[in-house]
Amino acid sequence: MLKIENLHASVAGKEILKGINLEIGAGEVHAIMGPNGSGKSTLSNVIAGRDGYKVTAGSVTYNGKDLLAMEPEERAWEGVFLAFQYPVEIPGVNNTYMLKAGVNAKRKHQGEQELDAIDFMQLVKEKAKLVELNESFLSRGVNEGFSGGEKKRNEIFQMAVLEPSLALLDETDSGLDIDALRIVANGVNKLRREDRSIVMVTHYQRLLDYIEPDFVHVLADGQILKSGDKSLALELESRGYDWVKEEAAA
Amino acid sequence: MSDLTLNIASLPGNVGVQAQRSQAADICARTGLPGKRDEDWKYTDISRLTATLGDAWWLTAPTAINSDATSLATIDDLDAYRLVFIAGQFQPEQSNLPDGVQLRPLSELLQNDTDDSAHCLFKLDESAPLFNGLLAANSALASDGLCACIGDGIKLDKPLYAVHVGNSTAHTLNGLMLGKGAEATLIEHFIGTDSDQAGLSNIATYLRLGDNAALTHYRLQLESDKQFHVGRVEVKQARDSRYTLHAVELGGSLSRADIVVNLAEPGASCALNGLFVASGRQHIDHHTRIDHNAPHCCSRENYRTVLDGRAHAVFNGKIVVAEGAVKTDSAQSNGNLLLSKHAEIDTKPELEIYNDDVKCAHGVTVGQLDKNQLFYLKSRGLSEDEARQLLTVAFADEILVAMDIKAVRSFIEKEAFSKLPNLGDLEGVLG
Ligand SMILES: Nc1ncnc2c1ncn2[C@@H]1O[C@H](COP(=O)(O)OP(=O)(O)O)[C@@H](O)[C@H]1O
Ligand SMILES: [Mg+2]
């Protein structure tokens, strides 16, 4: 399980996360909601190990191991996966090749045998169906020329292939039309497992109509101001975020 | 310099060729090696040549090579006509030549006193673009090379694969003429042996394309790491002819190539693709010059360099559009990836346009690996080294995919990226 304690992080000298405390148990689905600029992506990125963030206090442990001391790829080998808010295009790097390298690096790390090309292709084709991703996308450059929705779908497809035990979905719902949202959400639901935790970061309640969270947290101004169950999301939908801030300030 | 004249007396060639040799020797003596004062050699210090090989740098070094080319890293799974040159000399027993086309080693032509067909190759034009003393030395001293004439309408069924082996000093002179509508592929592959010796490969290749002819030319420089390599490729294109160059620079200590293309008649087109992958203290320099001398000609130029360690690359792409060359369509792009903060690139597009009715685009980029892409790959479980390798290959991909012979392409891919072990030097750059 993931345990975040008193996490403070800053970007370019500016403090963004101001003492985050959060525990995510195996198999749980958490939604982190908050207004734009509240630090949701910062939190996801710090957990995944992106450069440029300075952790000034606190800790992040995963299954008892200190995540912050690991390189991003080591975190991936431990089962952490980040679906990017803005997936980057990597022309010239084949989507499937990248995934095969990723899967096999992880298997190697876990002392398992690496998959050969044929087994891997089979796996990949099977997983592509899950998010209704056309097979033609498999052999293209990573996100190269993909539309916004295709990129998000590709993220969930990668999640399906990499089989993480902790998936952080950063605004996977933004920029999707209703049909695409349904496809992506269906994919995520099919990937729910007892041993897989999912953290959905979003500022729309809409996603939660499709993927039902066990817990909902409100992140505002670098702090988790309130936690609750699914009904909190509905309340946020109708009342906005301000009342949470006021309540917290009181 | 005058010593050079002494060396030519023993060289093959009839009276006419000998006369051209001594003229060339005189020119070489007069012009000497290009220096830093020469604008075209501003970033390439050829004095390294004399420092290493001595004042008589043109002398053929003693050849310590008995190896046969089959034991070397040639492109094996290539179905081609092979011409093997060792230390500059043609090896008939290791070669197989096509039937039905005029193709002979220069050495053979020069043995025949009544054969004047080699004369034109030895003729120098001092006013030609990028002319220099090294080219004069080539004319004075060349004794072998590939000479071929592909007749009208002939499509060569397999590529010509010329393998030049040796860490020795060799002056090689090649000429390839394509008749009307003829089609061929020429692969020039320069490789060293594992000997420690340094020498100079001085290679001149003259190409003539007749009306509607098409030539694909691979120029693969993988000399051993002490070797000096200087080359000139001179192309003259008739109406509607098409020339494609894939120039790959991986080897050598100092390598310079002058690529000079004359789009002489309407509708001719050329595409120059270049890939440099250099590390250590390698120095690589390409000066390209494309003359649009007729209307409706098209030129495409795409060079990519990957530099690691203290490697230094120079790219100069000059395009001259003559007054009458209306409807010229020209595009040039040069991308540079610096994997180390000590690597250096000097790149310069030069456009000289003498009419208004032209389309000329050019662009240069210099950069490091993109850290967002690196993070993305690492977050998928790829190690730092793997991620860097992959992004580096992806950067070169545009040039690699343009190579239409799969065996060549995978050979270059393998050679290019096995030579970047020093991927750890990035730390400071990425910050
Ligand atoms: N690289 C950066 N440089 C400077 N400021 C940044 C950077 N990344 C994020 N920020 C700032 O940090 C704050 C939180 O950003 P972010 O975590 O992306 O918010 P959210 O995902 O909740 O919209 C914002 O004010 C944003 O401008
Ligand atoms: Mg965000």
- Cβ within 8 Å, pair B378-A99: no
pLDDT in tens, A229-244: 999 998 988 888 889 9
Percent of chain B beyond pLDDT 70?
A: 94
pLDDT in tens, B234-256: 999 999 999 999 999 999 999 99
Residue B70 — very low, low, confident or very high, per pLDDT cuts 50/70/90? Answer: low
- Cβ within 8 Å, pair A76-B378: yes
Q: How confident is the model over B8-24, as a mean pLDDT?
A: 91
- Cβ within 8 Å, pair B391-A162: no
Chain B contacts of A120, Cβ < 8 Å? none
Q: Are residues B21 and B150 in the same domain?
A: yes
Final residue belonging to a domain, choices B265, B289, B317: B265
Helix, strand, coil percentages (3-state) for chain B, rounded to 5, are 25, 40, 40
What per-residue confidence (pLDDT) applies to B82?
95
Which of A74, A84, A93 to probe by mutation at the B interface, max B CB count within 10 Å?
Answer: A93
Report which protein residue has its CA nearest ligand 1's atom 25: A37
Q: Are residues B56 and B205 in the same domain?
A: yes
Please state the atom number of ligand 1 nearest to the C-alpha of residue A171.
21
Chain B contacts of A84, Cβ < 8 Å? 376
Please state the atom number of ligand 1 nearest to the C-alpha of residue A222.
14
Report which protein residue has its CA nearest ligand 1's atom 16: A39
What per-residue confidence (pLDDT) applies to B107?
95
Query: What class has domain A2-249?
Result: alpha beta
CA distance A179 to chain B (A): 27
pLDDT in tens, A157-201: 999 999 999 999 999 998 899 999 999 999 999 999 999 999 999
**Cα(A115)–Cα(A249) distance, integer angstroms:** 54
Select the residue of B373, B379, B382 nearest A101 (Cβ to Cβ): B382
Pairing of strands A65-66, A197-202: unpaired
pLDDT in tens, A99-139: 999 999 999 999 999 999 899 999 999 999 998 998 888 98
Residue from A8, A18, A41, A47 to probe ligand 1 pocket by mutation (most atoms less than 8 Å from CB): A41
Residue from A8, A10, A11 to probe ligand 1 pocket by mutation (most atoms less than 8 Å from CB): A11
Domain boundary assignment for chain A: 2-249
Chain B contacts of A49, Cβ < 8 Å? 375, 378-379
pLDDT in tens, B24-43: 999 999 999 998 889 999 99
Residue B349 lies in a domain: no
Please state the atom number of ligand 1 nearest to the C-alpha of residue A44.
17
Q: Which residues between 8 and 67 in chain A have a beta carbon less than 8 angstroms from any beta carbon of chain B?
A: 48-51
Q: How confident is the model over B347-351, as a mean pLDDT?
A: 95
Q: Which two tokens stand for residue A177?
A: 């039309």
Residue B422 — very low, low, confident or very high, per pLDDT cuts 50/70/90? Answer: very low
Percent of chain B beyond pLDDT 90?
A: 79
Q: How confident is the model over B305-331, as a mean pLDDT?
A: 97
Report which protein residue has its CA nearest ligand 1's atom 5: A11
Domain tally, chain B: 2
pLDDT in tens, B319-337: 999 999 999 999 999 999 9
Residue B424 lies in a domain: yes
Q: Quick check: B423 pLDDT over 80? A: no
pLDDT in tens, A204-229: 888 999 999 999 999 999 999 999 99
Residue B383 — very low, low, confident or very high, per pLDDT cuts 50/70/90? Answer: very high
Residue B401 lies in a domain: yes
Residue A144 — very low, low, confident or very high, per pLDDT cuts 50/70/90? Answer: very high
Chain B residue with the nearest C-alpha to that of A89: B373
Range of the domain at B257: 2-265
Q: Which two tokens stand for residue B57?
A: 């740098």
- Cβ within 8 Å, pair B381-A142: no
What per-residue confidence (pLDDT) applies to B71?
67
CA distance A99 to chain B (A): 7
Q: Quick check: B429 pLDDT over 50? A: no
**Cα(B326)–Cα(B305) distance, integer angstroms:** 32
Residue A203 — very low, low, confident or very high, per pLDDT cuts 50/70/90? Answer: confident
Contact residues, chain B to chain A, C-beta under 8 Å: 370-373, 375-384, 386-387, 390-391, 393-395, 397-398, 430
Residue B428 — very low, low, confident or very high, per pLDDT cuts 50/70/90? Answer: very low
Output the average pLDDT for chain A.
Answer: 94
ipTM above 0.85, yes or no: yes
What per-residue confidence (pLDDT) applies to B121?
93
Least confident of A87-91, A190-194, B66-70: B66-70
What per-residue confidence (pLDDT) applies to B1?
45
Contacts of B4 (CB under 8 A, 6+ apart): B25, B28, B29, B56, B58, B137, B140, B141
Q: Quick check: B425 pLDDT over 90? A: no
Residue B293 lies in a domain: no
Q: Which residues line ligand 1 (CB under 6 A)?
A: A 11-12, 16, 34, 36-42, 52
Final residue belonging to a domain, choices B265, B283, B310: B265
**Cα(B306)–Cα(B276) distance, integer angstroms:** 6
What per-residue confidence (pLDDT) applies to B76?
82
Residue B338 lies in a domain: no
**Cα(A176)–Cα(A196) distance, integer angstroms:** 24
Least confident of A47-61, B32-46, B269-283: B32-46
What per-residue confidence (pLDDT) applies to B5?
76
Cβ count within 10 A of residue B324 = 12
Q: Quick check: B430 pLDDT over 70? A: no
pLDDT in tens, B81-121: 999 999 999 999 999 999 888 999 999 999 988 888 888 99
Residue B83 lies in a domain: yes
Chain B contacts of A154, Cβ < 8 Å? none
Q: Quick check: B67 pLDDT over 90? A: no
Final residue belonging to a domain, choices B236, B265, B294: B265
Chain B contacts of A162, Cβ < 8 Å? 380-381
What per-residue confidence (pLDDT) applies to B379?
98
Chain B residue with the nearest C-alpha to that of A106: B381
**Cα(A50)–Cα(B294) distance, integer angstroms:** 54
Residue from A16, A43, A203 to probe ligand 1 pocket by mutation (most atoms less than 8 Å from CB): A16
Residue B289 lies in a domain: no
Output the average pLDDT for chain B.
Answer: 91
What would you report as the CA-atom Rg of chain B, rounded to the nearest whole angstrom?
21
Q: Are residues B167 and B32 in the same domain?
A: yes
Q: List helix spans (H) across A57-147.
A: 72-77, 95-109, 117-130
Select the residue of A77, A84, A142 nearest B381 (Cβ to Cβ): A77
pLDDT in tens, B386-402: 999 899 989 998 899 99
Q: Are B423 and B385 in contact (CB under 8 A)?
A: yes
Residue B363 lies in a domain: no
Q: Are A202 and A174 in contact (CB under 8 A)?
A: yes
What per-residue confidence (pLDDT) applies to B419?
67
Q: Are B97 and B85 in contact (CB under 8 A)?
A: no
